[in-house]
Amino acid sequence: MNSTTTAAKPGFDTQGERSDEARVDAAMRSFVREFGVTAALHMESCVRCGICAEACHFHIATRDPKYTPVHKLELFRRAYFREASPFAPLVRALGLVRKPSIAELQQWQELIYDSCTMCGRCTLACPMGIDIAELVKEARHGMFKAGLIPERLALMDRTARQWGSPATPAEDLPDILAEVSEQHGGVAIPCDLEQADILVTAAPAELGDHTKALADAAKILNRIGAKWTMHQGGFDASNIGFNNGDLELQERLTRALVDTALKIGAKTVLLPECGHAYGAARWEAAKWYGSALPVRIIHMTEFLDELIASGQIRVKRIADSATFHDPCQIVRRGGLEAAARRVLAALGFELIELKDAGVSGFCCGGGGGVVSNVRAAPLRAKVFEMKKAQVEATGARRFVTSCGQCRITLEQGAKAAHWDRKTESLLELVADNLAD
């Protein structure tokens, strides 16, 4: 996608050279395509009770009414009633609902990109069963089409389109893996094998700042004698298209993983400790492959749980207390609440739960691309204080999570708050405590 950044007032960015009218029309066309039966039912069901407001960490942290989930959906709701509802022709004819203006779309960018992580806590709270997080994701499709997403996310989008990853060109993968291997004691990390049973994927941080996680995954896979590989054809599972609303890129990145697995005969695609990788590859791949995927797609947490339960690996017990941050896309949206806790139990931790844990846990504040959106940093810091307070209230000595993006967000929050608590990776804890 060729695009340029247009000078804009604080609060929104633009991509591309087009008129304001063209941007609005592009957004509206995309919105209308999203209004199938499910979205329509959700739009018609909202009774505007406000219960979702007390579920949203951004609203709770600021008490600013503009951050209520129902307000974040207002322009999407207006587009529905004006263009796709049963009485849409009458609504337009009588001028009952205004078409969103370019100024409103520009202001909306902050609400659905800076102050929404698509964590789904509001969805859980809604008494009408409205999937608010899914509707925000669908609204992002229109904002991407209009060229109205935060520029940092747009830059990552352009890079992923060119390289297959926002982190590195595919051609550099063999060299990166060789460096990771050397950095971590020579652990074998196979690349581009013609045949393998497991295709292992990574998140961008594992190719940069969090290389230990990648080396530790290799350590465990080698311990069990798995025939596995990473591959230039499909290696980055983070899927920036999923976060940005770029459906074309989302499909391309998902297909790269699945098609590469099929090419090398792999029956399993192993996802890294990344929440949005799980949402994009595990649950949304069916958009392009149908309900029965041609390969098994599994998150690292599931993998560790299965290895321990089957006796393929044993772990040393750690005599310490810990609390656990539940990644939203893995636990609330993905259903892996029990798996991580079984792994923690196997490690011998005394688990002290956060006040809000499991499916009701608060987001780290950086999901949905918010951690990459520099403009949202002050808001993220406010949300972090909520998580910090809950962690401290447990009195636990260790703080663990199973998502690399959550870990990055929490590390950034700790640095800004001058908090000395380390956020630990569940994968790395397992690898560091493998029993002979």
Q: What is the pLDDT of residue 208?
A: 87
Q: Which residues pair with 315 in a beta bridge?
A: 434
Q: pTM for the full model?
A: 0.93
The reply to whether 163-307 shares the fold of 20-149 is: no
Q: pLDDT tens digits for 190-210?
A: 999 999 999 999 999 999 889
User: CATH number for the 20-149 domain, one of 3.40.50.1100, 2.40.50.100, 1.10.1060.10, 1.10.1200.10?
Assistant: 1.10.1060.10
Q: What is the pLDDT of residue 10?
A: 52
Q: Which residues, including other chains, have CB under 8 Å from residue 313's CB and lie 6 or more apart?
A: 220, 223, 224, 307, 430, 434, 435
Mean pLDDT value of segment 38-55:
92
Q: pLDDT tens digits for 222-278?
A: 999 999 999 999 999 999 999 999 999 999 999 999 999 999 999 999 999 999 899
Q: Tell me: pLDDT of 3 over 50.
A: no
| Of residues 258, 156, 166, the one with CA closest to residue 204 | 166
Q: pLDDT tens digits for 378-436?
A: 999 999 999 999 999 999 999 999 999 999 999 999 999 999 999 999 999 999 999 98
| Of residues 387, 361, 369, the one with CA closest to residue 114 | 369
Mean pLDDT value of segment 300-316:
98
Q: What is the pLDDT of residue 11?
A: 67
| Of residues 353, 354, 350, 352, the one with CA closest to residue 390 | 354
Q: Tell me: pLDDT of 59 over 60.
A: yes
Domain boundaries, the chain: 20-149, 163-307
Is residue 292 very low, low, confident or very high in pLDDT (cuts 50, 70, 90)? confident
Mean pLDDT value of segment 107-132:
95
Burial class (CB in 10 A: 0-12, 13-18, 19+), 184: middle
Q: Are 110 and 43 in contact (CB under 8 A)?
A: no
Q: What CA–CA distances, in Å, run from 88 to 148, 200, 359?
A: 26, 48, 37
Cα–Cα distance for residue pair 160/282, rounded to 1 Å: 20
CATH level 3 topology of 163-307: Rossmann fold (3.40.50)
Torsion of CA 97, 102, 106, 108, to 10 degrees: 10
Torsion of CA 324, 326, 327, 330, to 10 degrees: 120
Determine how many CB atoms are found less than 10 A away from the CB of residue 296: 14
Q: pLDDT tens digits for 348-390?
A: 999 999 999 999 999 999 999 999 999 999 999 999 999 999 9
Mean pLDDT value of segment 43-52:
92
Buried b (16+ CB within 10 A) or exposed e, 122-146: bbbbbeeebbbbbbbbbbbbbbbbb
Q: Tell me 2's DSSP state.
A: -
Say whether 87 sits in a helix, a strand or coil: coil
Q: What is the pLDDT of residue 291?
A: 77
Q: Which residues, including other chains, have CB under 8 Å from residue 141's CB and lie 6 or more apart?
A: 30, 33, 34, 245, 247
Q: Tell me: pLDDT of 6 over 60.
A: no
Mean pLDDT value of segment 30-47:
91
Query: Mean pLDDT, the chain, as a whole number?
Result: 94
Cα–Cα distance for residue pair 351/344, rounded to 1 Å: 8
Q: What is the pLDDT of residue 354?
A: 98
Using only C-alpha atoms, the chain has a radius of gyration, in whole angstroms, of: 22
Q: pLDDT tens digits for 152-190?
A: 999 999 999 999 999 899 999 999 999 999 999 999 999
Q: pLDDT tens digits for 94-114?
A: 999 999 999 999 999 999 999
Helical segments of 94-146, H only: 102-109, 121-125, 132-145
Q: What is the pLDDT of residue 290?
A: 84
Structure token digits, residue 179: 């460096």
